Homo-oligomer: A and B are copies of this chain.
Amino acid sequence: MDLELPGLHGSLGSPVIESMNFLNEVAQQYPDALSFAAGRPYEGFFDIGAVHRYLDRFVAHVRAGAGGDEARVRRTLLQYGRTKGIIHDLVAKNLRIDEGIEADPESIVVTVGCQEALFLTLRALRRTERDAVLAVIPCYVGLSGAAELADLPVLPVANSADGIDLDDLVRTVERAKADGLRPRALYVVPDFANPSGISMPRDTRERLLALAEEHGFLLLEDNPYGLFHGTAGRPPALKALDSARQVVYLGSYAKTGLPGARIGFVVADQPVTGAGPESGGRQSLADQLAKIKSMLTVNTPPLAQAVLGGKLLTHDCDLRAANTREAQVYRDNLRHVLDGLAEHFPPGSSPEVTWNAPTGGFFVVLTLPFAADDALLALSARKHKVLWTPLHHFYGDGAARRQIRLSFSQLTPDEIREGLHRLAAFIGELSAHHP
């Protein structure tokens, strides 16, 4: 039986999915190129022995709570499990320690990576074709992808040096409402955003919370990079400042825990009314997300939760302390990138190349004298053996822009030095052709 793509779900023909594929596959196409493209965590400290130790640590923890009931220990790890997860209490403790967030463990749903948390939330918020989600553009493709899959349009909000243009946010919300739409939520990465690297100052966060309450939309806070800040620290997470339950907090352990466990979570403590008499008519948004999860993945693999839970237990749920070495690698790499760029492209020189200077995270954005599209990336990869990410992939419209993203999380200092050398050669050659 033959199928035709135009007869399948609309997301499969979207530019977003093409971008996700492109970003996933480009490194495989050019295995001998140095890659500033992948936003993956550093692999230098990966240790398979630790997986066994984490598993044992979690088993001991479950055993301590099971009062000698070994069948219960085995069941917890090896049988179908609780829909909301089995490490929710450890996640709550970790949020208190790392982020100063007080979360009721019952308001947490443990998910298959942050991506599932995103989809659960967007699917729950999409009732009719009038519903929409707001996002600061350029935006992480995972948000655009989950929104496509949930049939939820993304309303773009302009960026600024503070991570969002709040005036544009208000205009966008008011225009959407005038058009009969319901903007349900705004997706933001307040710390070291992907792809921009920008962080929101504290007063922007406070104004954003006030605007969300005033205009009646949720804030979807995604925070994969917050722990990897510079010596100056960072402002509190939105959720730590959230007195009116405006914030749904989307968590990822891919960068701070173990990417191979694929454990994420969502904190959704918003009350939901009208949930039927048997629940007293009142449940939380987390309860609704759990219902959707029961139709989507049933539960997050208990064995994967156990390994991640063992890592949390091993470090007393303090992932800031657990990531001391990794945080140092990312800080050093950021410095190497900024120093190297300053060396290759001194002020006033030609070609004119500028960049932003995040104080943490995985990403720096360069502005070039020419529009950088996928064809130029292919040229850069083939001829100069260096990969980067055209920023247009984070706009979802396919129009090439003069900006590129450099990711430096997976490289060594030598690779960064050599990679920037190659990048400068590519930019020099291209600028000669685009005077």
Query: A residues bordering B, Cβ < 8 Å?
Result: 1-12, 16-18, 20-21, 24, 40-41, 43, 46-48, 51-52, 55, 59, 71, 73-75, 77-81, 83, 112-113, 115-116, 119, 123-127, 142, 145-146, 148-149, 151, 212-213, 216, 218, 244-246, 254, 258-263, 270-276, 285, 288, 291-292, 294-304, 307
Contact = CB atoms under 8 A, between A and B. Distances in A.
Contact of A55 (B20, B52, B146, B297): B52
A303 B273 contact: no
A275 B5 contact: yes
Contacts of A4: 272-274
Nearest to A184: B7
Contacts of A270: 1-3
Given A260-B81, A260-B303, A270-B1, A296 B75 contact: no
A74 to B, nearest CB: 4
Contacts of A271: 2-3
20 contacts: A1-B212, A1-B244, A2-B272, A3-B270, A3-B272, A4-B272, A4-B273, A4-B274, A5-B288, A8-B272, A9-B124, A17-B291, A40-B79, A78-B258, A112-B298, A112-B300, A146-B295, A149-B292, A263-B301, A303-B303
A11 B75 contact: no
A301 B261 contact: yes
A167 B356 CA distance: 68
Determine chain A's interface SS by DSSP, over half rule. Answer: helix
Contact of A297 (B10, B78, B115, B285): B115
Contacts of A73: 48
A262 B2 contact: no
Contacts of A275: 5
Count of identical protomers in the assembly? 2
Contacts of A126: 9
A260 B302 contact: yes
A127 B9 CA distance: 4
A297 B113 contact: yes
A249 to B, nearest CB: 13
Contact of A254 (B7, B48, B80): B80
Given A4-B273, A273-B5, A298 B48 contact: no
Contacts of A46: 71, 74-75, 78-79
Contacts of A78: 43, 46, 48, 51, 258-260
B77 A288 contact: no
Contacts of A125: 8-9
A21 B119 contact: no
A46 B80 CA distance: 12
B6 A297 contact: no
A113 B24 CA distance: 23
B75 A48 contact: no
Nearest to A272: B3
A80 B127 contact: no
A149 B296 contact: yes
A194 to B, nearest CB: 14
B262 A127 contact: no
Nearest to A83: B24
Given A74-B48, A295-B145, A79 B259 contact: yes
Contacts of A124: 8-9, 12
Contacts of A298: 112-113, 115, 142, 262
Contacts of A261: 301, 303
A166 to B, nearest CB: 19
Given A113-B297, A294-B21, A216 B8 contact: no
A87 to B, nearest CB: 13
A275 to B, nearest CB: 5
The 10 closest A-B pairs by CB, nearest first: A145-B295, A262-B301, A78-B260, A5-B274, A46-B74, A301-B304, A112-B297, A260-B302, A46-B78, A149-B295
A245 B301 contact: no
B246 A11 contact: no
B244 A301 contact: no
Nearest to A307: B303
